[in-house]
Structure 1
Amino acid sequence: MATVLYARVSTADQTIEHQRTQAEAAGFVVDRVIADHGVSGISTKLAERPEGRRLFDILRGGDVLVVRWVDRLGRNYADVCDTIREFMRGGVVIRTVINGLTFDGATTDPMQQAVRDAMIAFMAATAQANAEAIKEAQRSGIALARLTAETKYRGRKPSYSADQLEAVRFMLSQSAGVGQIAKATGLSRQSVYRIKKDPAAAEAAVQNWP
């Protein structure tokens, strides 16, 4: 029997190692980690993911599949329910790190089966509800970005004019010192340093404030 951790991350700021650390802190002794990187649980079923589909090949009866929560398996109600039940039919036990839930197909007691199936349905529905909340937040973010663009947010007004910028860039090309340039253009040394450090950004700032 083996304990396999399945981890999924959809963004760059998430890490597989964090999910493994959480599992081990919860007392799981992980024999193997199967992970999908940069894969959305909203739009991609487990069986359609590069590593997710391997679980159906490597897991055997008596093995334990560990996930941080059921949303790692998917965020669609029907898909999550079908996935968990398919694993259980194969004798695989699914356990979650969060809340310490266990889904086991071994029980033959009708009442225990009913409670287990109700919990599966509830958790799958919660995963989909969270996914809908995420999509709504994304739509709101996109709408806000569009509104920002429409109002032509221009950033902070630069402390130099187009003529001063041109003069600074010319003198820099002639290897003039920062102090010399500041004195000649009437700008502060800090302004000259900013232009020198990122001339492209300085040009964009001037264009935003004609």
Structure 2
Amino acid sequence: MSTILYARVSTADQTLSHQRTQAEQAGFTIDEVVADQGVSGATTALRERAEGRRLFDLLRHGDTLVVRWVDRLGRNYADVTDTIKEFMRRGVVVRTVINNMTFDGATEDPIQMAVRDALIGFMAATAQAQYEATKASQRAGINEARANAAIQRKKTEYLGRKPSYDREKYDSVIRLLSMEVAGTSEIARLLGLTRQTVLRIKEDPGKALAALEAWDAGSKEAVKQ
């Protein structure tokens, strides 16, 4: 029986070593690591990922699959729930590092099965909802930025103070916050930002992105003129 860690590293801010360290600090003894790099969990099902396919081939009855949280398996409700249930049917125990959740198919009690399946569904739905909320916030911020840029061009208003972060640092703040691996002060130190800047992005990511896009759009227009 083996304990296999599956890690999905979808952005530059996430690392394989960190996910393994978290698992080991939580008490897991990892026999093997399977990891997909730069793959979206929302648009690519686990079976369609290169290492995801290998994971399905590796897991056997009695094995334990460890993931940081269910969002590493994916951010699509149907894919995540189907995947976990398939593993349980094979006799694989699925465990999460965060919240120390355990899912297995050993129980035959209908009440316990119902509670287990409901929890799996809730966690999978949360993973998808978080992804969609982030994307919606980003879209709203971009739309607002475009509208503000148009107004600024018409009125030739002063752009105001340039944000102290660029798009790369903004994305890094959003990713680190979603991973819940570091506090505001630590994120600020890692990215070379002030704590107040990280807090502004955390409290209203759409507004923070809108300010950045508006300034960039206005600056480009000013250069053209």
Instruction: Give the TM-score, by structure 2 length.
Output: 0.66
1:23 is aligned to: 23
Let me know the Cα RMSD of the aligned residues. Answer: 2.2
Q: In the aligned structure 1, how far is the partner of 2:146 from the partner of 2:8?
A: 31
| Between structures 1 and 2, the one with greater helix share | 2
Q: Supply the AA of the counterpart residue of 1:66.
A: V
2:79 is aligned to: 79
Shift of 1:137: 2.0
Shift of 1:209: 8.2
2:3 is aligned to: 3
1:50 is aligned to: 50
Q: In the aligned structure 2, how far is the partner of 1:99 from the partner of 1:42?
A: 22
Structure 1 residues 7-36: Cα deviation after superposition (integer angstroms, max 9, x where no partner): 011111211111111111111111111111
Shift of 1:144: 4.2
> What is the DSSP-based 3-state SS (H/G/I as helix, E as strand, rest coil) of the residue aligned with 1:39?
coil
> What is the DSSP-based 3-state SS (H/G/I as helix, E as strand, rest coil) of the residue aligned with 2:107?
coil
Q: How has the CA–CA distance of structure 1 residues 131 and 63 changed in structure 2, closer, same or farther, with 3 Å as cutoff?
A: same
Q: In the aligned structure 1, how far is the partner of 2:83 from the partner of 2:14?
A: 24
Aligned length: 162
2:185 is aligned to: none
Moved beyond 4 Å, runs of 4+: 152-156
Shift of 1:145: 4.5
After TM superposition, the structure 1 = structure 2 runs for residues 1-210 of structure 1, keeping only pairs within 5 Å, are 1-147=1-147, 149-150=149-150, 151=152, 208=223
Q: Supply the AA of the counterpart residue of 2:129.
A: A
Q: How has the CA–CA distance of structure 1 residues 148 and 9 changed in structure 2, closer, same or farther, with 3 Å as cutoff?
A: farther
133-142 vs 50-59, which moves further: 133-142
Q: In the aligned structure 2, how far is the partner of 1:131 from the partner of 1:25?
A: 27
Identity %: 70
Structure 1 residues 62-89: Cα deviation after superposition (integer angstroms, max 9, x where no partner): 0000000001111111111100000011
Shift of 1:138: 2.2
> What is the DSSP-based 3-state SS (H/G/I as helix, E as strand, rest coil) of the residue aligned with 2:130?
helix
Structure 1, unaligned stretches of length 5 or more? 157-203
Shift of 1:132: 1.2
Q: In the aligned structure 2, how far is the partner of 1:134 from the partner of 1:16?
A: 23
Q: In the aligned structure 2, how far is the partner of 1:39 from the partner of 1:147?
A: 32
